[in-house]
């Protein structure tokens, strides 16, 4: 064996960075879902604006491995949904109420994808831990 375990550490580091990034992505998506039907605090004002997580890649110099991080969280500049609700306190002078530019179906789809990615990274960590344990068991024998 020419390896000193750095491959195991590199694998764990990459998967852990993926876990952190996907957890951050799920937090942003959860915020979007929680605010999907909110209205502006003032009449005619703008409601919550959908947030879009981004990812960036960074070099972990200690392990010589590329890891992923949650990048900037940007706001989606698409148009708000507008409904005619003159009795709503958030309505403008014409009786229209702006609702967030959040589509719950899109958010749920994104959430499922983030969960699958999170689980895949968790499986990599579990598999790496099993390999480390088997290696230790072999060395003990």
pLDDT tens column, 43-73:
989 999 999 999 999 888 887 888 999 999 9
- pLDDT exceeds cutoff 90 at 7: no
Is residue 1 a part of any domain in this protein?
A: no
Tokens of 116: 């699958």
φ and ψ at 114, to 5 degrees?
-65, -40
Show the DSSP H helices in the chain as ranges. 6-34, 104-140
| Per-residue pLDDT at 1 | 41
pLDDT tens column, 88-114:
999 999 999 999 999 999 999 999 999
**Structural domain for 126, as ranges:** 6-140
Is residue 35 a part of any domain in this protein?
A: yes
Q: How many domains does the chain have?
A: 1
Across 14-19, average pLDDT: 94
Global pTM reads 0.85
Is residue 58 a part of any domain in this protein?
A: yes
∠ CA 1-7-116, nearest 5°, is: 135
Q: Specify the 3-state DSSP secondary structure of 109.
A: helix
* Nearest residue to 78 (alpha-carbon basis) of 56, 47, 109: 47
Mean pLDDT, all residues of the chain: 92
């Amino acid at each position: 064996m020419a390896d000193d375990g750095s491959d195991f550490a590199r694998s764990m580091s990459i998967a852990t960075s993926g876990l952190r990034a996907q957890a951050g992505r799920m937090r942003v998506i959860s915020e979007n879902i929680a605010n999907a039907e909110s209205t502006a605090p003032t009449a005619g004002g703008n409601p919550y604006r959908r947030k879009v997580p981004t990812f960036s890649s960074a070099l972990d110099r200690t392990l010589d491995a590329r890891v992923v991080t949650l990048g900037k969280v940007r706001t989606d500049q698409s148009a708000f949904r507008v409904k005619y609700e003159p009795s709503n306190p958030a309505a403008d002078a014409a009786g229209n109420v702006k609702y967030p530019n959040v589509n719950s179906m899109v958010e749920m789809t994104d959430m499922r994808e983030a969960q699958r990615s999170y689980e895949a990274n968790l499986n990599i960590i579990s598999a790496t831990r099993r390999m480390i344990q088997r290696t230790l068991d072999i060395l003990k024998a």
